[in-house]
Amino acid sequence: MARTLVNQKANFGTLPVFMTTISTILGAILFLRLGYAVGHVGFIGAIGIIALGHLVTIPTALGVAEIATNQKVLGGGAYYIISRSFGLNIGAAIGITLYLSQAISVAFYIIAFGFAFEPVLNWLSDSYNILIPDKRFITIPTTIILAVLILTKGANLGMKALYFVVALLFTSILLFLFGKSTGSTETTFVLNNRISGADPFFYVFAIIFPAFTGLAAGLGLSGDLKDPSKSIPKGTLWATLAGMLVYIVVAYKLSISATPEELATDQMIMQKIAVWGPIIPIGLAAASLSSALGSIMVAPRTLQAMGLDNIFPTIFVNTWFAKGKPVSNEPFNSSLVTILIAFAFVLVGELNFVAKAISMFFMVTYGAICTISLLEHFAADPSYRPTFRSKWYISAIGAIFSIWLMFKMNGLYATVSLVIMGMIYYSVTTYNTNEKKGLGKLFRGVVFQLSRQLQIFAQRADKEDPDKYWRPFVICISKDTFVRRSAFDVLRWLSLKYGFGTYIHYIEGYLSKETNQNSKEILKKLINLAAGSKNRVYLDTIISPSYTSAIAQVIQLSGISGKGNNMILFEFSRTDPDSLTEVLKNHRLLETTNFDICVLNTSYKSFGYKKDIHIWISIMDYENANLMILLGYIILGHPEWRKGQIKIFATHNPDDLERKRMDLLDLIKSGRLPISPSNVELIPADPDVNSKQIISEKSQDADLTIVGFRSELIKAEGIKLFTAYEDIGNILFVSSMKEKEIK
């Protein structure tokens, strides 16, 4: 048969989902452990446990209803929902542990089924002296019979049996509710009564919580449902609400019908209260058997779905798990594995250990479903259009309480559960090459929405004084991206921590289908190149018939920061200064838009060892000085310059050198700049000495030299303003439209 999650004869409706879920909720815990809970924490405490448990299950049920009405839910239930939202690697980590919990749950309920025969065993011992020393004489044959029925008849027989079992279950609950007290209880203040030396609240909660794990049972039938998007929400929600009501009513009946001591010590106390006592062991047997049936139908379908997704290491294993019977697609092989796991735990026979283990994994599953619902609300994905919608804060409550309760119940079990899932995630990610996205698929929309909101906030935050908190919003346009990367390096240094950088590759030509496709291919290449370096630069391309028109377009871009750009970076090679000509033609255009201008002159030395940044401040650099110092400081903050230092060289009138030196030192101190006073050197200005020659001599070994320029000199000197610097590394020329404040 073809590998598929679809059952060609799927005809189950809402009622099977409801019955599978409710029969698991109203299981062994209701009959064997709820009295213990009331005895140790009182009726009010029991209500607290029920309420706390439903702070997880109700948001999960609403989340399930939401997700199920948005996408086609095939076989695999909770695993299918999680893996299609979080990705296969996250889905596998949770799915494998969920499957083990479901398989072990079969053993848990069969062991509880054995307790229902305690009155029968006592009667045989007292009346006929027939002694059966171990309940495994009952649980092992029960497991075998159940296995044979499921393997030969499949889910249809299990569902037919479930109708009878659920009817018997509700009959036993009704006969209990109409029962009388044990005769030894006082009803005064009984709502708050508890035994002395009672167990802690969260210890009791951990024992009771398996009662709330029935939520995932109905999900597992998704592949056998005629209309999952209709049946799953209705069946799950109604079962959750009905289960909560039954637990509250039964807890109240227990609290007014027996003393706390009786409740805490007699696990079959309901038998003494019911109208007809024997109905309680019968109800316990029905509840346990129905829960076991629900789990043994659900668990194999989870394993089958994981096999179909190729979660496991080998093709043979995946194919074997995925294989189903002809037409019905019943997961025979997965059912066989489930039965073997259940049989192993039935042989162990330890009820409390099994209960704690499955609680943790189910709690993680619930938390994952609530998280999916929460993130989908914030992602605002147009393709997410469920016909039923929960509220984001309800999903948030479910997700938060799931993790919190895990650690409150048992920190060790919680840690071990998370470690196991982490190991599974790592293993699946390592050998499964089909799916590497993980959380990225879902978080992409959330990040987009957050980014959008932050951009709007940033644009509006400084509307009264946009220059009050200056930071560089730099845009760079270059057609030599794949020839030189120096400009991109400067951009990523400036934008890593303190600013925003946009790098645009210029493509000369007119916009057409061919150039548009070419630009997309170049952008992919740019992203791949940038991925190898530590950067936070936004990359893009622009198609324009001339460099002038490209600049005009670029300076009008709003920028990714939400505040627009305030600085533009150009670059040219020292061996080809003529390439700067087109840039210089547009300096007036840049002045009218109040852009700070940076021009990077790259040499064969490049940025050397990234140790020394030399900043040259001349008499003419009143407006440029602070910007040059700020840029040097920002670049020095990049990890690649972590061993670097800034040296300041200032040329000034000989008569005023000391005052200028003190001004610079005061600026460094008040601005808390990492510049040593010994790295500040004042040079007397001499009109007869070529300043370029002095810079070339002093900064010969510098890894980056920052020099100021006044834009009005461009018209007079042109390219010469940026040339004639010999044998030094890269030079960054800076022109500030107005003085920047260093606070």
> What DSSP assignment string belongs to 345-382?
HHHH--HHHHHHHHHHHHHHHHHHHHHHHHHHHHHT-T
DSSP structural state of residue 70: T
Beta strands in 89-133 (DSSP E): none
User: Residues 423, 427, 432, 434: is their CA dihedral positive or negative?
Assistant: positive
3-class SS of residue 506: strand
Q: Which residues pair with 684 in a beta bridge?
A: 652
Element (H, E) at 645: strand 645-652
Residue 92, class by beta-carbon neighbours within 10 Å (0-12 exposed, 13-18 middle, 19+ buried)?
A: buried
d(CA 575, CA 603): 8
The 730-735 sheet, strands edge to edge: 537-544, 500-508, 473-478, 567-573, 596-602, 730-735, 704-708, 612-617, 645-652, 680-684
Phi, psi of 199 (to 5 degrees): -65, 150
pLDDT of residue 517: 92
Query: What per-residue confidence (pLDDT) applies to 740?
Result: 84
From CA 669, how far away is CA 343, in angstroms rounded? 75
Low-confidence ranges of the chain (pLDDT < 70): 1-13, 68-78, 85-86, 123-124, 126, 128, 131, 133-134, 153-161, 183-191, 215-225, 228-229, 327-328, 349-357, 379-385, 387, 431-469, 532, 559-563, 743
**DSSP code of residue 635:** H
Rounded Cα–Cα distance for residues 444 and 454 (Å): 15
8 Å CB contact between 88 and 190: no
Determine the pLDDT at residue 505: 92
Give the containing element (helix H, strand E) for 14.
Answer: helix 14-25
Burial (CB < 10 A; 0-12, 13-18, 19+), residue 131, is: exposed
pLDDT of residue 357: 65
Beta partners for residue 567, in sequence order: 474, 596
* CA trace torsion 128, 134, 137, 143 (10° rounding): 140
Please identify which residue in the block is written with the tokens 């009820």. Answer: 351
pLDDT at 187: 45
Please state, in angstroms and rounded to a whole number, the distance separating the CA atoms of residues 21 and 219. Answer: 8
Instruction: Retrieve residue 394's tokens.
Output: 């309800």
Helix, strand, coil abundance in the chain, percent, nearest 5: 60, 10, 30
| Contact residues for 512 (Cβ-Cβ < 8 A; gap 6+) | none
Q: Which residues on neighbouring strands pair with residue 441, listed in sequence order? A: none
The CA–CA distances, whole Å, from 411 to 236, 270, 404, 535, 713 equal: 29, 32, 10, 39, 71
Q: Please, are residues 595 and 566 in contact by the beta-carbon 8 Å criterion?
A: yes
Q: What is the largest CA-CA distance in the chain?
A: 125
Residue 453 token pair: 């909101």
DSSP-derived letter for residue 170 is: H
The pLDDT value recorded for residue 1 is: 38
Residue bearing tokens 């039965």? 339
- Whole-structure pTM value: 0.62
Angle, helices 201-208/34-68, rounded to nearest 10 degrees: 60
